[in-house]
Structure formats: structure tokens, C-alpha cells
Chain A
């Protein structure tokens, strides 16, 4: 055997294992699903961090996929394998608490909230959503609104209709529009956007108290009131495009903008897409209204970052979390992302017309949490809700869907 050769091979192999952790102290790995249209906002945050801490190298681990569908799967394999990223993006509320906090994998951030004075800076309702088991578990970066209906003001004027305020008005308006040649007045996209539409319809039918009661287990899914949600949802779907499941949410929004459809119910990241990516002027290029029947209610979701137990660069991660919760960090990130700051003292002059109106609503409306975006229900329920939706779409049977939803709620112990 060739001795020197094998020696070099062994040395080379060994160096592979040795060099990696040598400069471990000055790195920070952040894990998120912000890419594409949402990438520039994350980059601005990272730039701000690098300016403040030039010695720390930021590793931006992004896994694409709307609403984090793919990122969450990757995150789980990493956490199960004992390789947690230093800080990861997660929807504030049950998506974090029901999966990671109950499994005892997160660090309590109560002390950070106290030392930074955040308990006074964030609204009480939001802190309540972030809290469980006597701890606060993540730092909210932004607030999005789920129950928004978008339209093009010029198009509505052309068709001679005004944006509907109630569910019944919405159905009547759609009927009128069909008479004027708009085949599918409501633009809808791939599967998760069905769930998104459903929660706006449900909030419109049930109202904020009953909506919240669903998630605390006080109102059953097979209660006649909740069954009515599905019946109304079926009527709404009559006006949606049949090829929805082949479209991304952006493509669905495009249909509304092009005038193939009149309305699009989507979260207010759509405003970021239309204002930042498509360079449309809020109020002129696109208009908005709370989705039918939900005026005065703010269905919220929030992206937040937590600190897993046992990370490699804890100090750097804490610095990152401090920046996320700071006024400067939130006002850097949110105007680009197309969301509003979770803090109540943000500088509104930096935001566009839509976001200013959303910030005003955020302070004055009744706040409820979103199902499709992880605020009110644990993942085990949210992921199986997709199956309920399919049962409904296949059978259009409100009773069957309601019973299936209740079966899953019982199985995952919703509200317990």
C-alpha cells in the first residue's frame, strides 16, 4: 500500500471535520421562509445587523414556499436531528406554542421582554397570544391582517358596483358582476388560499366572539352556527375561478388586477406585492376593504422569531432578537415587507397609504387570530384542516365537513 498517499488522504479527511467549527463564535444562522418578493425586507434587517455587529457573519438560511409550508418541514428535521438554527421564523401563537413550546424546545424570553421594555411597547392582546406556560416565547416582527378584500377602484366604477360590506351584499354584487360578463368575480389561488378565504367567510358569518369560541372549544364545529359557515362558503365558491388550484396567490391577485376578476381575499402581504413589486399606488392602482362582514375586526397573524434551546451562537441570536423588537428594526423591515410594526410607537411616515390605514385599524379594531396562518390552532389541527377542506370540496356537504372538523378538534384536544 502507498503509505504517504493514505496519510494525506487521512489528513485531508480529518481537516474536513476540524476546520468547520473553528470560527464558531462569530456567526449567526437565521432560518426563515422569506425569499423572492419578501427577500429585500429580510436583507434590510440583516444589513442593519451587520452594520451594528460587523464581526458577526450572518448565515441566511431560507427555505422558499408560501406561508412556510416547506420551511417548517425542514426545520423539524433539523430540530429532531439536534441541529437547531440560532433563531427561526415562526407564526406567533399556537404554531410555535403547540409544536415547540409544549415539547420543551424553546427558551423563555420573558426576561428579554422585561429588560427591553417590550411588555409596554407591544399591545396586550399580542403579548397574550405569545404567552403560554408562564413564559413569552417569541419576538414579533410584524403584524399582517388576514381579512382584507382587494379590488381595483377604476374597474368597480366601470362595472358600476361598490365594494360590498356584508356577506349577503357580496353574493348579490357577484351575481350582478356575472350579469355584466365577469365570469368569476372572485379570484382564488392554490390550496392554502381556500383555507384563507374560509377564515374570512367564517369570521364574517360568526363574528369575533363565536370565532374565538371555536378555538377555545366553547363552540363546537358541528354546532348549527358553525355548519352555516360551510354552507355560506359553498355559495361564495360559486363565484370563484375553477382553475384556482393551479395558481399561486400572486397569480390570483394578478387576475383581479387585470380585470378578469373583481375581488381577491388575501392577507395584506398582497399590498406589499402590489405596491413594492408591481409599483402600484395604494388607493388608486388597488383598493381595499375589510372582507365582507368583518368590518371593525382585525384578524391578525404575526411573524416572529424564537430562540431554540441548545443553539450554537446564543449571544449573537439574542442580539438579533433585540434588533427585531427595536423600533429601528421594525421600521426598517415592515415598510419593505408590506406589514405594520407590532410596536405601538412606530414612525408612520415611513409607511405607505395602505399600511397607515392598517396601523390605525390595528389600534382601534377588535383583534382575533388567524387559523390559516398559525395563530389560533396547533399545527396538528391546521394541517389536517386541509383534509376537511378537501372533504368539503369533493362533497359540498356542509354537515360532513363540520363533523370531520370536530373529529380532528377532539383528536388534537383543541382548546385544552
Chain B
């Protein structure tokens, strides 16, 4: 019996070995390669940029420093701001519409299966197709802007993707203060939640941390200015069209996630609530939504990493050169393959990887821990 168990283990190992090797080389190997490239001067000297065996020198974090504080890299900083705004609105839109659609279908209207199919269908398209369709719809002289003329009104005049307006502008130099205030606010919120949950020591700890960060943000951060000149960034209105297209595509997917969750809620719970005299509103806000929290988290993870890495949708909708709809992934492509700045392109790639990891890793850890407990 013993050798039998052994061979099973060996066979098991052999079966997964190719995939371990492939992932080690083609995922982690290349991440390491990109990280190394981002710490060199590859591309700064044109005679080495595209040589057959480029000679590069190690220059530490200089590429990263240039991206965040360099004179000519303002486009990268605007892209970072844009991607944060895009992520927030995209997540909010998908979760809101996904939940609404799921609740509608959960009420089992007539033709429920048909509607489910219709709502889910955009998810089956590729981002390039979605982007092309919406590019046509959002042309300033037609499409969506011409809709009001159907009912005899004047055509709308919003520029959509060609808009050059920016709102909610702030100086990049104020960023340390803004981040500090946001961190303090988050910590304070955690403290309030802990207080409500009757965990006093935790609440006091977080309240103190919040106060300390607040002190840093107000006392120290204003003295630290990354740039020697003011540089305004904000939310580009041209992104509204891209957010609409992205939500249109992914809301159906979010709906499917919520539907799976809703069908998983035992009927007894609902019946019990109704017997206790809860109306529909109370049923959803007090019983069902709290039970949906894990689904919401999963949806945020999946959607969040899509939005940080978004490339094809923007490329198809607005092209790679429209700086008003630029995102870091596009800039990485342009910097690398047009400007021949391979090291700087790699640095942008690594920054994106870190951002995505900040979302994924805590999730994976919590999932793994749960798995072990079960």
C-alpha cells in the first residue's frame, strides 16, 4: 500500500510539473526580467535601445523617480489620476447596475431567461468590439448626441471622447496631504466600525493611528512638494464615454455574480422575514444585501483589476494618442514601442503590477485562510 501512495504522489507531482515550470519561466521569470529592466537605463542611449545585444547600466530607481517627479512625465501622472477616477466610477457603475438588474430578474418577471441573456450578452463581446461600437455612438455630430432630435429637441452638444474639459482639479504637489487625509479618514472609519462592534481596544488603537496620520498629513506633508512647479490634474470629462462603455459591457457580468448569490439565499430566510412583517425594502436592505457582501467583494476584485489594466477598450475607442483618455497601460505601450524608452516602459508596467497586486494579494490571502479553516 505504501509504495502505491508514493507513486501517486510522484505522478501527481509530474503532472503539475510542466505547469509549474511554464509559470515559473513565463510569468515570474518575465516579471523579474521587467523589474530588472525598469532599474536600468535601457533606451536612454539610442545606440543601445534596439541593438541586438543591448548594453545597459543599472541606475536604481531613477526611472520611477522621473515618472513621479520628472518635468516631462506629467502625462504619466495624469494617467495615474485618470485610472483612479476611472476605477472608482467603473466599479460603482457596475455594482449598482449589476445589483439592480439582478434584483429585477430575481423578482422573476415574465421572460426572465430572455432578459438574463440580453443583460449578459455584452459581456460576451470583446472590449475591441464594444469600443468600436461606442466610438461610433459617441461621435460628437451623431449617435447619442442626435437622440434628442427623435423627439423634436435640439441635438446634444457634449463632445464625449474629444472633450478637453477637466473637473475636480488639484495640484500634484498637494498629493501627499490628500493621501494622508484619505488614510486618516479610512482609519477613523475602521475605528467607528470597531466601536459599533463593541471591540473597544481595537477602536481606540485605530482612532489613535488615525489621529497620528492626520497629524502627519497636516503637519509634515505640506512641506514635501514633489515638483518645483504647480501641476494641475483632475478628472477628464472625455472619460465619461469610456466609463459608460465599460459599465455597459461589465454590468451584465456583475448581475450574473449577484444572481448566483441571490439564488443561494435559502427561501426560509425570506419567508421568515416576511412572516416577521418585513416589507420588500427592509428585506433587501437588512437581510439580502448584508448576505451579498462576499459577492460584492469578489466582484470588486475582478472588476478592479480589469479597470487598472484597461488597454484595448481605450485603444479602440479613442486611439492611443488621445492624451485626454490616456491610461497607464497605453502609455506603457507608447513609451516602449514608439519612444524606444524600454526601461521607463518597464517601470510603468511594474507600477501597474504593484497596483493590481494591492487589490489581489489581500483577497487571495483571505481566501487561502478561509480554505485552510474549512
Q: A243-B140, A386-B323 are in contact. Are A73 and B338 (CB under 8 A)?
A: yes
Q: A383-B339, A384-B339 are in contact. Are A104 and B51 (CB under 8 A)?
A: yes
Closest Cβ neighbor of B319 among chain A residues:
A190
On chain B, the residues within 8 Å of A59 by CB distance are none
| Least distance between B62 CB and chain A CB atoms (Å) | 13
Q: Is A25 an interface residue (CB 8 A)?
A: no
On chain A, the residues within 8 Å of B51 by CB distance are 103-105
CB of B337 within 8 A of CB of A77, answer yes
CB of A104 within 8 A of CB of B52, answer yes
On chain A, the residues within 8 Å of B319 by CB distance are 190-191
| Least distance between A42 CB and chain B CB atoms (Å) | 23
Q: Is B266 an interface residue (CB 8 A)?
A: no
Closest Cβ neighbor of B322 among chain A residues:
A245
A-B contacts counted at CB < 8 A amount to: 100
Q: Is A72 an interface residue (CB 8 A)?
A: yes
On chain A, the residues within 8 Å of B320 by CB distance are 69
CB of B75 within 8 A of CB of A243, answer no
Max chain B Cβ within 10 angstroms of own Cβ: one of A104, A243, A391, A407: A243
Q: A99-B46, A103-B51, A244-B162 are in contact. Are A73 and B337 (CB under 8 A)?
A: yes
**B74 CB contact (under 8 Å) in A82, A243, A391:** A391
Bound complex: CA of A413 vs CA of B266, how far in Å?
A: 70
Q: A243-B140, A393-B164, A407-B71 are in contact. Are A103 and B49 (CB under 8 A)?
A: yes
| Least distance between B311 CB and chain A CB atoms (Å) | 13
| Least distance between B187 CB and chain A CB atoms (Å) | 35
**B162 CB contact (under 8 Å) in A77, A100, A245, A379:** A245
Interface residues of A in 361-416 (CB under 8 A from B): 378-380, 383-384, 386-387, 390-391, 393-394, 404, 407-408, 411-413
Q: Is A79 an interface residue (CB 8 A)?
A: yes
Q: Is B72 an interface residue (CB 8 A)?
A: yes
CB of A383 within 8 A of CB of B338, answer yes
Q: Is A13 an interface residue (CB 8 A)?
A: no
On chain A, the residues within 8 Å of B339 by CB distance are 379-380, 383-384
On chain B, the residues within 8 Å of A73 by CB distance are 333, 337-338
Max chain B Cβ within 10 angstroms of own Cβ: one of A103, A378, A407: A103
Q: Is A80 an interface residue (CB 8 A)?
A: yes
Q: Is A192 an interface residue (CB 8 A)?
A: yes
Chain A: number of interface residues, binned into ranges = 35 or more
On chain B, the residues within 8 Å of A394 by CB distance are 164, 166, 323
On chain A, the residues within 8 Å of B322 by CB distance are 190-191, 245
CB of A246 within 8 A of CB of B50, answer no
0/1 string, B66-108, CB within 8 A of A gives 1: 0000011011000000000000000000000000000000000
Bound complex: CA of A98 vs CA of B71, how far in Å?
A: 24
Closest Cβ neighbor of B139 among chain A residues:
A246
Q: Is A24 an interface residue (CB 8 A)?
A: no
Q: Is A154 an interface residue (CB 8 A)?
A: no
Interface residues of B in 308-358 (CB under 8 A from A): 318-324, 333-335, 337-341
Q: Is B367 an interface residue (CB 8 A)?
A: no
Q: Is A43 an interface residue (CB 8 A)?
A: no
Q: Is A353 an interface residue (CB 8 A)?
A: no
**A242 CB contact (under 8 Å) in B43, B162, B321:** B162
**A404 CB contact (under 8 Å) in B43, B71, B318, B341:** B71
Max chain B Cβ within 10 angstroms of own Cβ: one of A102, A245, A378, A394: A245
Q: Is B29 an interface residue (CB 8 A)?
A: no
CB of A72 within 8 A of CB of B71, answer no
On chain B, the residues within 8 Å of A408 by CB distance are 72
Q: Is A76 an interface residue (CB 8 A)?
A: yes
CB of A76 within 8 A of CB of B50, answer yes
On chain B, the residues within 8 Å of A404 by CB distance are 71-72
On chain A, the residues within 8 Å of B321 by CB distance are 69, 190-192, 386
Closest Cβ neighbor of A394 among chain B residues:
B164
| Least distance between A388 CB and chain B CB atoms (Å) | 8
Q: Is B161 an interface residue (CB 8 A)?
A: yes
On chain B, the residues within 8 Å of A386 by CB distance are 321, 323
Q: Is B222 an interface residue (CB 8 A)?
A: no
CB of B337 within 8 A of CB of A407, answer no
**B140 CB contact (under 8 Å) in A246, A390, A411:** A246
CB of A380 within 8 A of CB of B52, answer no
| Least distance between A88 CB and chain B CB atoms (Å) | 13
Interface residues of B in 13-60 (CB under 8 A from A): 43, 46-52
Bound complex: CA of A386 vs CA of B162, how far in Å?
A: 16
| Least distance between A353 CB and chain B CB atoms (Å) | 33
**A378 CB contact (under 8 Å) in B46, B48, B140, B161:** B46
| Least distance between B53 CB and chain A CB atoms (Å) | 10
**B47 CB contact (under 8 Å) in A103, A390, A391, A407:** A103
0/1 string, A100-118, CB within 8 A of B gives 1: 1011110000000000000
| Least distance between B289 CB and chain A CB atoms (Å) | 41
| Least distance between A93 CB and chain B CB atoms (Å) | 14
Q: Is B141 an interface residue (CB 8 A)?
A: yes
CB of B164 within 8 A of CB of A246, answer no
0/1 string, A211-251, CB within 8 A of B gives 1: 00000000000000000000000000000001111100000
On chain B, the residues within 8 Å of A99 by CB distance are 46, 49-50, 340
Bound complex: CA of A102 vs CA of B319, how far in Å?
A: 30
Bound complex: CA of A194 vs CA of B348, how far in Å?
A: 26
Can you give 21 contacting A-B residue pairs, CB < 8 Å? A69-B320, A72-B337, A73-B337, A76-B50, A99-B50, A100-B50, A105-B52, A190-B321, A242-B159, A242-B162, A243-B162, A380-B49, A380-B340, A380-B341, A383-B338, A386-B321, A387-B74, A390-B75, A390-B323, A390-B324, A404-B72
A contact set with B: CB distance below 8 Å: 69, 72-73, 76-77, 79-80, 82, 98-100, 102-105, 190-192, 242-246, 378-380, 383-384, 386-387, 390-391, 393-394, 404, 407-408, 411-413
